[in-house]
Amino acid sequence: MEKIIIFDTTLRDGEQAPGASLNQKEKLEIAQALAHLGVDIIEAGFPISSKGDFEAVEAVAKSIKGPVICGLARAIKKDIDAAYQAIKLSKNPRIHVFLATSKIHMRYKLKKAEDEILRLAVESVSYAKKYCLDIEFSPEDATRSEREFLFRVVEAVINEGATTVNIPDTVGYAEPQEYGSLINAIKANVPNINKAIISVHCHNDLGLAVANSLEAVKNGARQVECTINGIGERAGNASMEEIVMAIKTRRDIFTDLETQIHTEQIYKISRLVSKLTGFLVAPNKAIVGGNAFRHEAGIHQDGVLKERSTYEIIKPEDVGFTGTGIVLGKHSGRHALSERLKELGLRLNEEQLNKVNARFKALADKKKNIFDDDLISIVEDETTAFKPVWKLDGFEINSGSKITPTARVDLKHKNKIISKTSSGDGPVDACFKAIDKVTGVKGELQDYRIEAVTKGKDALGEVSLKLKAKNKVVSARGSSTDIIEASVRAYINALNKIEGL
């Protein structure tokens, strides 16, 4: 079997999606999950872009074992210096240099001619090569570049020591046949192409990122750059889970090709990235969407009951979907809970397990049937990387169609209970304003969403919100069978995040 290298850029291109900014602790958490998933390369960030990003890339390089750790750099010496300083502690460092080669970029963005671009490309790779052996070069906007010039640039950077050449469809302009022919043309017209791996990086502006990436693989590309849930700038990137499962499912087409991804962990990391970025996964999203393995039409239900392969080409368990079977109830003990969490791939320390167990017991008293997704949501809610400054002790609301909603919220802070009351446009707004009074922090709500975690009238509700306070913007979640409590928990989690930054 020939290996397709999975280059994950969730922490770099994915984080560049508006509103998806991640702090160092969150980047480390995702990076660890990516390493367990089995990705070959983690592009940890763009070190020159900010002090925070430099430190986050450095922390990933220092802490994560296994994958290659890559830092992005423009074809500028100070960028390359910063990239190397950030990744040098990795056992497998890579510097990724990029420089635009399309006429539109050269004319309007760089204001440089072809000869100068060629010189800068060669010089940047040569300079990066002094730091480490593993160098990737990307001719940005390759799909809109003049082919002959693109061939010259690729040949020159390989001669200078580039070990991977990435062919980006930077603005998602290409269509599959066109993109595949470009990869084939590079193989045919770049004499030294056998000395480097061809990589592809496709954006999804026309909804073709995955299709283009797979067509490139069929035409000889052996590295695919992608992100969890397809997040990224504008319409996003090629979705890792779709790329991996397409190769695994269609072995009749991708003959003798494989990835080393542990696919049963896909759903878990999809949830993690969604939680930390605040980007909800659409129900109809391929592979990881909530409806991906659900059947409502009678004909489909009948077919699946008789033979699952009639309407399911992927087994839910192959990507980590655990189903919605009843797993535990109010008479279940702490040990049973711990074992079930381990089966779900959720390993907690003693302190975390104690907190999750307390929430589980409280939930078990409220609803008859507890599903795996309920447990996952509780774990996500209780295992935040931030030490909580504020803890919910309780709340009361008075609301109705003919009265002004009021709320009293009790928060625990340094072993002291502080209570405040406020009114608002609704019970949730009143709670948030009461919390602001307790904490002394004025929060500005930028996004607020409610989603049922499981089915039924007693379903666990999950609130996702984005909060701005103290010139910081964070995303957070909270869950409960009471949607107001879920909202309060999410708001407090966001404030604790802000305090921890």
Return the bridge partners of 407, or none: 397, 422
Say whether both 132 and 229 belong to one domain: yes
Same domain, 337 and 298: no
> What 8-state DSSP symbol labels residue 318?
G
What are the phi and psi torsion angles at 475 (to 5°)?
Answer: -110, 145
Query: 348 and 313, same structural domain?
Result: no
Query: Residues of 133-167 as b/e, b for ≥16 C-beta within 10 angstroms?
Result: ebbbbbbbbbbbbeeebbbbbbbbbbebbbbbbbb
Do 202 and 110 fall into the same domain?
yes
446 and 481 part of one domain: yes
The residue-averaged pLDDT of 189-204 equals: 98
What's the CATH code of the domain at 409?
Answer: 3.30.160.270
Please report the sign of the dihedral spanned by the C-alpha atoms of residue 11, residue 12, residue 18, residue 22. Answer: positive
For 25-82, how does the pLDDT look when each residue is reduced to its tens digit (9 = 90+)?
999 999 999 999 999 999 999 999 999 999 999 999 999 999 999 999 999 999 999 9
Split into its structural domains, the chain has a count of 4
pLDDT over 90, % of the chain: 71
pLDDT tens digit sequence for 321-366: 865 444 577 777 788 788 888 877 778 889 889 988 988 888 888 8
Inform me whether the pLDDT recorded for 301 exceeds 60: no
Q: Is the pLDDT of residue 439 over 80?
A: yes
Asked whether residue 84 falls in the same domain as residue 199, the answer is yes
135, 242: one domain: yes
- Same structural domain for residues 496 and 446? yes
Q: What is the DSSP string of 268-318?
A: HHHHHHHHHH--PPPTT-TTTSTTTT---SHHHHHHHHH-GGGT-SS-GGG
Residues in the chain: 501
Q: Residues 124-161: pLDDT tens digits?
A: 999 999 999 999 999 999 999 999 999 999 999 999 99
Mean pLDDT of the chain: 92
- Residue indicated by tokens 């990507």: 319
Residue 252 domain-assigned (yes or no): yes
Domain residues for the domain of 395 are: 391-500
- CA-to-CA distance for 83 and 65, rounded, in angstroms? 18
| E-strand stretches of 331-470 | 370-371, 391-400, 403-413, 416-423, 444-452, 461-469
Of 268, 299, 321, at which residue does a domain stop? Answer: 321
286 part of a folded domain: no
Q: Which of 382, 411, 431 is the last residue of a domain?
A: 382
Task: Say yes or no: 273 and 306 in one domain.
Answer: no
Of 232 and 344, the structure prediction assigns the larger pLDDT to 232
Q: Are residues 338 and 419 in the same domain?
A: no
The verdict on residue 283 lying in a domain is no
Q: How far apart are CA 229 and CA 269, in angstroms?
A: 9
The pLDDT assigned to 323 comes to 54
Place of tokens 């079997």: 1
3-state per-residue secondary structure call for 329-341:
CCCCCHHHHHHHH
CATH of the domain at 257: 3.20.20.70
Both 298 and 437 in one domain: the answer is no
In a domain, 117, yes or no: yes
Tell me, yes or no, whether 40 lies in a domain: yes
The answer on 26 and 110 residing in a single domain is yes
Residue 206 counted as domain residue: yes
Q: Tokens for 116, please give them.
A: 């100068």
SS3 track for 251-275:
CCCCCCEECCCCHHHHHHHHHHHHH
Among 357, 382, 407, residue at a domain's last position: 382
Pairwise CA distance, residues 26 & 273, whole Å: 9
Residue 305 pLDDT greater than 80, yes or no: no
Inter-residue contact 319 to 263 (CB < 8 Å): yes
Residues 6+ apart with CB under 8 A from 145: 101, 102, 103, 139
Query: pLDDT band at residue 457, thresholds of 50, 70 and 90?
Result: confident
pLDDT at 324: 44
Three-class DSSP category at 278: coil
Task: Give the whole-angstrom CA distance, residue 268 versus residue 347.
Answer: 12
